[in-house]
Amino acid sequence: GIGDEVIMPPFTFFATASTVCRIGARPVFADIDGSTYNLDPLQVESKISERTRAIMIVHLFGQCADMEPLWRIAERHNLPIIEDAAQAFAADYQGKRAGTLGAIGCFSFYPSKNLGAFGDAGMVVTSDPEWARRMAALRVHGMEVKYHHKYLGWNARLDALQAAILRIKLPYVDGWIERRQAAASRYDALIDEEHLGHFLQKPARAPHRRHVFNQYVVRIAQHQRDALMRHLKGERIGCEIYYPLPLHRQECLSYLGYAPGDFPRSEEACASVLALPMYPEIKEEQQRRVIQTCAAFLRQRGRMAA
């Protein structure tokens, strides 16, 4: 509620913070691990205050955060962990699925996700019966008894059409993820084949985790990210920046009082990451064209520099 604080990373989609702000609470940012882009447990404990009510982690790009130390911190301070698992449906950590690693797990079924609906859709899960009861009421304008509103809720029901589409697609998810993982391995091999490892930093795979590759995100060296993106788009190759501006530098969150440089790893990620085309049906020849186009860009830049 008002005055409460929730610790979270600044390198994530805006909704992670806006959900906290909308109830009058305050996002408190902690920087990310520079290799996985997930919340760095070493940055969390110093952010905890008497007003802290939860730690919100994000399993970014399809790989779970480093949960073991986060569990210890949460237990030490008696804080619940909320998982933003929007990009991590069916990812796991030590054999446990994303969304079951904390007190509450939040999923998105936006069409770009590994399990996508035909439009907007989402899900929240918990093992706590009281929280489940409250969330069920919040999704229908705060009603537990019809037309008696206990809470200020929303119209947040998953409509029947989206639910039906998701139910049909659900049995195929593991197969789609295996194809995404195979595509990620092909990208890795193609980057090595073109000797681009110094220019395109491949996604890190942390141990004891199942990475489901909602995105295949590389880090571009030499401050060349924006130029490479323009080159790829000029060759009609889709690519995207997730995310160009960290949350602590968003205009509407300026009241939080953060300044440029407060979270250097997040800011460096925003300046250097690029998502390459990734979907289950992508073919090796398409991926080869992507990486060869990156190699051609680098050669062209080398000639220009010479």
Query: Which range of residues forms the domain containing residue 301?
Result: 172-305
Residues 288 and 194 reside in one and the same domain: yes
Q: Is 123 helix (H, G, I), strand (E, B) or coil?
A: strand
* Average of per-residue pLDDT across 265-281: 98
* Average of per-residue pLDDT across 240-261: 98
Residue at a domain's end among 171, 198, 227? 171
The confidence score (pLDDT) of residue 263 equals 99
The confidence score (pLDDT) of residue 62 equals 99
Residues 34 and 136 reside in one and the same domain: yes
Structure tokens that stand for 251 in this block: 């205009």
Residue 1 has pLDDT above 90, yes or no: no
Banded model confidence at residue 183, pLDDT cuts 50, 70, 90: very high
Question: How many Cβ atoms from other residues are within 10 Å of residue 138's Cβ?
Answer: 17
52-107 pLDDT tens trace: 999 999 999 999 999 999 999 999 999 999 999 999 999 999 999 999 999 999 99
pTM: 0.95
Read off the CATH number of the domain in which 11 is found. Answer: 3.40.640.10
Residues 162 and 195 reside in one and the same domain: no
Residues 179 and 151 reside in one and the same domain: no
Number of domains in the chain: 2
149-181 pLDDT tens trace: 999 999 999 999 999 999 999 999 999 999 999
The residue among 237, 185, 173 whose CA lies nearest residue 216 is 185
Residue at a domain's end among 147, 171, 195? 171
- The H-assigned helical ranges of 85-224 are 129-138, 160-169, 173-193
Provide, rounded to the nearest whole percent, the portion of the chain with pLDDT above 90.
97
Residues 189 and 282 reside in one and the same domain: yes
Residues 136 and 118 reside in one and the same domain: yes
The confidence score (pLDDT) of residue 302 equals 78
Residues 69 and 183 reside in one and the same domain: no
E strand or H helix at 74 = helix 67-77
Strand order in the sheet with 200-201: 200-201, 216-220, 273-276
- The CA-to-CA distance between both ends of the chain, in Å, stands at 59
Banded model confidence at residue 296, pLDDT cuts 50, 70, 90: very high
The confidence score (pLDDT) of residue 304 equals 53
The confidence score (pLDDT) of residue 306 equals 40
Residues 166 and 184 reside in one and the same domain: no
Residues 55 and 153 reside in one and the same domain: yes
Read off the CATH number of the domain in which 217 is found. Answer: 3.90.1150.10
Residues 18 and 37 reside in one and the same domain: yes
Residues 29 and 141 reside in one and the same domain: yes
Residue 204 has pLDDT above 90, yes or no: yes
The residue among 223, 258, 276 whose CA lies nearest residue 27 is 258
Residues 154 and 180 reside in one and the same domain: no
Q: Are 278 and 215 in contact (CB under 8 A)?
A: yes
Residue at a domain's end among 150, 171, 192? 171
The confidence score (pLDDT) of residue 69 equals 98
The confidence score (pLDDT) of residue 109 equals 98
Q: What is the mean pLDDT of the chain?
A: 97
